[in-house]
Chains A and B, each alone.
Chain A
């Protein structure tokens, strides 16, 4: 299957700082990537859709100024959690469909990033 990587795998930061998480498609190009958040023992909740060359689209209730998304190239999307607070602590996972043009017959997930805000 297609390979998606994330960096870092875990990060601990102080309240008020910003954290950047990278999502890369390693063996395919992805014009669209998706960012999810998962709290302990819960399901994955879609936060936003990252679009190469255009603005990200956010799900209802997700603050776009707090969760900045940049799809810099066909293989890289970044999520920046700005002014992080303890309630932002979560497991952040990205995914990408292995088709050009954003068609999403399947999605492959990255390994996730564990964010802990002190």
Chain B
């Protein structure tokens, strides 16, 4: 199936550092969602974006819907050990309710 390009694939960072990851699509999306998945569990919704240019925060997390509507990024500020996990972006275009998922960014935080 179709997937979004998400980068980086994985990253190791020191506790307290900021993290940035992004997602790009070849087609225009109407909605972008960002999820975090811990091992053996289902994804948990972090942030939802519905308009081009929209910038939304959820605690230490900030996500933006790209102006071109073909990309989105997620920032995590002052990372902590519990930020470890896999982060997925997901999006859908017009005329469909089916979401496409990114390839995931595996985050590891070094204490």
Contact = CB atoms under 8 A, between A and B. Distances in A.
A4 B45 CA distance: 12
The 3 closest A-B pairs by CB, nearest first: A104-B97, A109-B42, A112-B42
Contact of B42 (A93, A104, A105): A93
B43 A103 contact: no
B88 A46 contact: no
Given A106-B33, A111-B42, A112-B42, A97 B97 contact: yes
Interface in A52-110: 59-61, 91, 93, 95, 97, 102-110
A49 interface: yes
Given A43-B3, A105-B50, A108-B45, A114 B98 contact: no
B104 interface: yes
Contact of A110 (B42, B90, B99): B42
A32 interface: yes
A60 B33 CA distance: 23
A45 interface: yes
Could you say which of B33, B99, B100 has the most chain A C-beta atoms within 10 Å of its C-beta? B99
A108 B99 CA distance: 12
Interface of A: 1, 4, 6, 32, 34, 42-46, 49, 59-61, 91, 93, 95, 97, 102-112, 114
Interface in B44-98: 44-45, 48, 50, 88, 90, 92, 97-98
A95 B88 CA distance: 15
Nearest to A99: B97
Nearest to A59: B1
B100 to A, nearest CB: 8
B50 A44 contact: no
A111 B41 contact: yes
A59 B102 CA distance: 17
B44 A107 contact: no
15 contacts: A1-B45, A4-B42, A43-B101, A44-B88, A44-B101, A49-B97, A60-B1, A97-B97, A103-B97, A104-B98, A106-B31, A106-B45, A111-B41, A112-B41, A112-B42
Nearest to B89: A43
B40 A34 contact: no
